[in-house]
């Protein structure tokens, strides 16, 4: 029997890739997703890759009664991966309460359900944004939280604190906190990929949207940062690598390899790439010159961040297999193939 894992946000970008990766390994994944920033048609792509219909519950995790019903119906859930969250830095600056309300209430509800239904393996999507503007790079898991540059980052800091406290109060409960750097790219099949409902503000999809003509041009936000070319530095990580890290984390907990009941891992490649270098990679891989201009800094951005991946490699046994060129290639393939997903669909409330 495959062990059952509940994936919240399982029809979203990273969630969908993880559902597929779990299922290709020794797990059965079911999901909760209210399609607030994902598309119902994503179910087709996931099911296609699973070669069976994917089971998803269309539920808002802030609705505790509805969330509980899933745990009641599936008493064999052995672990939870909690992806579901709002994720955009600029949107969080404009509408902080949307972020605090959703990201924190959903986390509290799902932890309550884990406690009530005795699900003791929990994986949380955190973010390198918890480090803020780190004084020393690369950041290790021991690097302290910095001042949050935006409400989104603060929801991840508070979320981690909530989990730490919950773990202290519940010694039988085991959590892995995964701090993602900058996920991008898509599944090699192009059957699933990044297709948010709200306007995407992430760099790599903006590059591909400009290249395909959905946007006229793009702006590099800030060229006066203290970096090698003046643009921000990020650690872009392929979504397929990231998805597999979740499978490793589930195995890690199920095999009781954790030393403490709250383990933290950085998930990045371990190399910083500037915004301009990401653009150059795209132009080199595709041969398409990109229409971009150099502009002002964007509020909420840190200058530079990339991961020290030593602990993740040694303790979790995971390292990224793909680089920035692989990322932009797969992102471009997805951009050219995703129209089926966007056809005839309006926002699902």
Q: Which is nearer to ligand UDP, 70 or 139 (CB)?
A: 139
Is 223 a binder of ligand UDP (CB under 6 A)? Answer: no
Is 219 a binder of ligand UDP (CB under 6 A)? Answer: yes
Is 335 a binder of ligand UDP (CB under 6 A)? Answer: no
Is 215 a binder of ligand UDP (CB under 6 A)? Answer: no
152 is catalytic: yes
Give the span between the Cα atoms of 144 and 163, in whole angstroms: 16
Report the residue number whose CB is nearest to ligand UDP: 232
The size of the interface with ligand UDP (CB under 6 A), counted in residues, is 15
Q: Which is nearer to ligand UDP, 202 or 313 (CB)?
A: 202
Is 69 a binder of ligand UDP (CB under 6 A)? Answer: no
Is 23 a binder of ligand UDP (CB under 6 A)? Answer: no
Other residues' Cβ atoms within 10 Å of the Cβ of residue 147: 10
Is 13 a binder of ligand UDP (CB under 6 A)? Answer: no
Question: Interface mask (CB under 6 A) for ligand UDP, residues 178-207, using x and -?
Answer: ----x------------------xxx--x-
Question: Interface mask (CB under 6 A) for ligand UDP, residues 293-322, using x and -?
Answer: -----x--x---------------------
Is 28 a binder of ligand UDP (CB under 6 A)? Answer: no
Binding to ligand UDP (CB under 6 A): which residues in 120-159? none
Among 59, 232, 243, 331, binds ligand UDP (CB under 6 A): 232
Among 234, 238, 248, 338, binds ligand UDP (CB under 6 A): 234
Is 221 a binder of ligand UDP (CB under 6 A)? Answer: yes
Q: Which is nearer to ligand UDP, 182 or 186 (CB)?
A: 182
**Could you tell me which residues are beta bridge partners of residue 236?**
182
> Which chain residues interact with ligand UDP by CB under 6 A?
89, 182, 201-203, 206, 218-221, 232, 234, 275, 298, 301
Which residues are marked as active site? 152
């Amino acid at each position: 029997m495959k062990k059952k894992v509940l994936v919240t946000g399982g029809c979203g970008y990273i969630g969908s890739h993880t559902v597929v990766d779990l299922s290709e390994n020794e797990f059965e994944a079911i999901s909760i997703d209210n399609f607030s920033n994902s598309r119902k048609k994503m179910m087709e792509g996931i099911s296609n890759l699973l070669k069976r219909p994917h089971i998803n519950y269309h539920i808002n995790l802030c609705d505790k009664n509805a969330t509980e019903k899933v745990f009641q119906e599936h008493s064999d859930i052995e672990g939870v991966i909690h992806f579901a969250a709002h994720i955009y830095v600029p949107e969080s600056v404009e509408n902080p309460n949307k972020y605090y309300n959703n990201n924190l209430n959903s986390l509290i509800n799902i932890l309550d359900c884990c406690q009530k239904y005795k699900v003791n393996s929990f994986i949380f999507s955190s973010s390198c944004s918890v480090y803020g503007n780190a004084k020393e790079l690369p950041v290790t898991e021991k690097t302290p939280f910095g001042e949050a540059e935006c409400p989104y980052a603060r929801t991840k800091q508070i979320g981690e604190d909530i989990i730490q406290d919950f773990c202290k109060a519940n010694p039988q409960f085991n959590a892995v906190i995964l701090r993602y750097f900058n996920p991008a790219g898509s599944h090699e099949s192009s059957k699933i990929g990044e297709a948010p409902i709200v306007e995407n503000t992430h760099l790599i999809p903006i590059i591909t949207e400009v290249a395909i003509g959905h946007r006229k041009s793009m702006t590099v936000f800030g060229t006066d940062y203290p970096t090698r070319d003046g643009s921000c530095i990020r650690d872009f990580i392929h979504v397929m690598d990231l998805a597999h890290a979740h499978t490793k984390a589930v195995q890690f907990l199920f095999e009781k390899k954790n030393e403490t009941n709250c383990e933290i891992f950085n998930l990045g490649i371990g190399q910083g790439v500037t915004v301009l270098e990401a653009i150059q990679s795209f132009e080199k891989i595709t041969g398409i010159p990109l229409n971009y201009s150099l502009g002002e800094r964007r509020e909420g951005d840190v200058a530079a961040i990339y991961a020290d991946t030593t602990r993740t490699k040694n303790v979790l046994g995971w390292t990224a297999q793909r680089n920035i060129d692989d990322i932009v290639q797969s992102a471009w393939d997805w951009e050219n193939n995703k129209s089926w997903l966007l056809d005839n669909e309006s926002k699902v409330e």
